């Protein structure tokens, strides 16, 4: 699978924060339309990989290709059209003084896209929010509703690649299921490529085709998500993780 064919291609990527290297030698490919997971315990560098791909962690070396084009060290307009991210905390990822309408119109204003009214209404409908939420402030909504708004914002520019940083870990279990179903439906409808970071293995088997297991800043194993059913992990760390999640 060549780097020009795949949606996301990382080759020997190191990422540092203020000169301290936290992630080393990351190499994996995600095909277009595939759903790929990065799993591992807290502090294993999963989110850092996402940030490097979208330019929020500028100190990376190696090769990153996104839909055939080289990655950037900082966010820019063309990157924004190809790749968007959904953050972990729906309470922190929405501006507390902006209505849903303002949040969803902003990407359109930045990119000079017209027809904002219809697009905002359509985006709300797409993520299953009633139109009466349009002029609410974040503090007038529940966590699940906020996360739907965050997903709608990420989809406003119609990117092909979505980076999901633990999109459900801050939510109640019942709401988690709704958001996961929404993500699954959106991917099926739009042919999106997902790169999902999580430490929750059942989510991987629900949403993803393959996964990379990370530990201490390195990828120790890349496995198909069927391994979560039969436990066919080869690396001892993956096996331990699998056992710890109650799979063994």
Partner 1 sequence: MLTREWLLDDSPASRGQAAAGRAYRVSLDLPRNPLAVAGIVIISILILTAIFAPLIALEGPHGQYLERRLLPPSGDHWMGTDQLGRDIFSRVVYGARITLMIVALVAVISAPVGLLIGAVSGYFGGWVDSVLMGVTDVFLSMPKLVLALAFAAALGPGIENAIIAIAITTWPAYARIARAETLTIRNSEFVAAARLLGASHTRIITRHVLPLCTSSMIIRVTLDMAGIILTAAGLGFLGLGAQPPSPEWGAMISGGRSYIFDQWWVATMPGFAIILVSLGFCFLGDGLRDVLDPKSEGKS
Q: Which residues bind partner 1 (CB under 8 A)?
A: 54-56, 74-77, 79-81, 84-85, 87-89, 91-97, 99, 101-102, 106-107, 110-111, 132-133, 135-140, 150, 153, 156-157
Q: CB of 52: closest distance to partner 1 in angstroms?
A: 13
User: Rounded to an integer, what distance in angstroms lies between the CA atom of residue 38 and that of residue 51?
Assistant: 13
For 8, residues 6+ apart whose C-beta sits below 8 A from its C-beta are 28, 29, 30, 36, 53, 64, 65, 66, 161, 193, 195
Residue closer to partner 1 by CB (options 74, 185) is: 74
Q: Please tell me the distance from the alpha carbon of residue 108 to that of residue 139, in angstroms, as a whole number.
A: 23
- Using only C-alpha atoms, the chain has a radius of gyration, in whole angstroms, of 18
CB of 222 to partner 1, least distance (A): 26
Minimum CB distance to partner 1 smaller for 179 or for 201: 179
| Residue 147 beta carbon to partner 1: minimum distance, rounded to whole angstroms | 12
* Shortest distance, position 212 Cβ to partner 1, whole Å: 22
Closest distance of CB 227 from partner 1, Å? 32
Report, in Å, the least distance between residue 47 CB and partner 1.
11
Nearer to partner 1, 79 or 227 (CB): 79
Beta strands in the chain, from DSSP E residues, in sequence order: 8-17, 20-30, 35-39, 60-66, 69-70, 83-86, 161-165, 193-198, 210-215, 218-224
Element (H, E) at 108: helix 100-110
Q: How far apart are CA 9 and CA 39, in angstroms?
A: 17
Are 201 and 247 contacting, i.e. CB atoms less than 8 angstroms apart?
yes
- Among residues 53 and 223, whose Cβ is nearest to partner 1? 53
Q: How far is the CB of 22 from partner 1 (least distance, A)?
A: 16
Residue in 41, 49, 56 with CA at minimum distance from that of residue 14:
49
Q: How far apart are the first and last CA of the chain?
A: 32
Tell me the pairing of strands 218-224 and 210-215. Answer: antiparallel
Question: Which of residues 47 and 239 has its CB atom nearest to partner 1 in the complex?
Answer: 47
């Amino acid at each position: 699978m060549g780097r020009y064919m795949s949606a996301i291609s990382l080759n020997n990527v190191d990422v540092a924060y203020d000169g301290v290297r936290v992630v080393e030698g990351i190499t994996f490919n995600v095909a277009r339309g595939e759903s790929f997971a990065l799993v591992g315990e807290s502090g294993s560098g999963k989110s850092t990989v996402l940030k490097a791909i979208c330019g929020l962690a500028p100190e990376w070396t190696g090769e990153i290709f996104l839909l055939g084009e080289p990655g950037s060290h900082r966010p820019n307009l063309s990157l924004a059209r190809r790749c968007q991210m959904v953050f972990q905390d729906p309470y922190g990822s929405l501006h507390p003084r902006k209505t849903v309408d303002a949040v969803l119109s902003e990407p359109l204003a930045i990119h000079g896209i017209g027809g904002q009214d219809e697009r905002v209404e359509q985006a709300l409908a797409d993520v299953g929010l009633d139109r009466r939420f349009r002029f609410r402030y974040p503090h007038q909504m529940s966590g699940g509703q906020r996360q739907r708004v965050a997903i709608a914002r990420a989809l406003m520019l119609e990117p092909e690649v979505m980076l999901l940083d633990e999109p459900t870990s801050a939510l109640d279990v019942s709401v988690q299921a709704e958001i996961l179903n929404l993500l699954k439906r959106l991917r099926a409808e739009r042919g999106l490529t997902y790169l999902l970071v999580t430490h929750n293995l059942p989510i991987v088997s629900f949403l993803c085709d393959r996964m990379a297991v990370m530990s201490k800043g390195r990828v120790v194993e890349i496995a198909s998500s069927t391994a979560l059913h039969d436990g066919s992990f080869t690396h001892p760390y993956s096996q331990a993780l699998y056992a710890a999640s109650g799979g063994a």
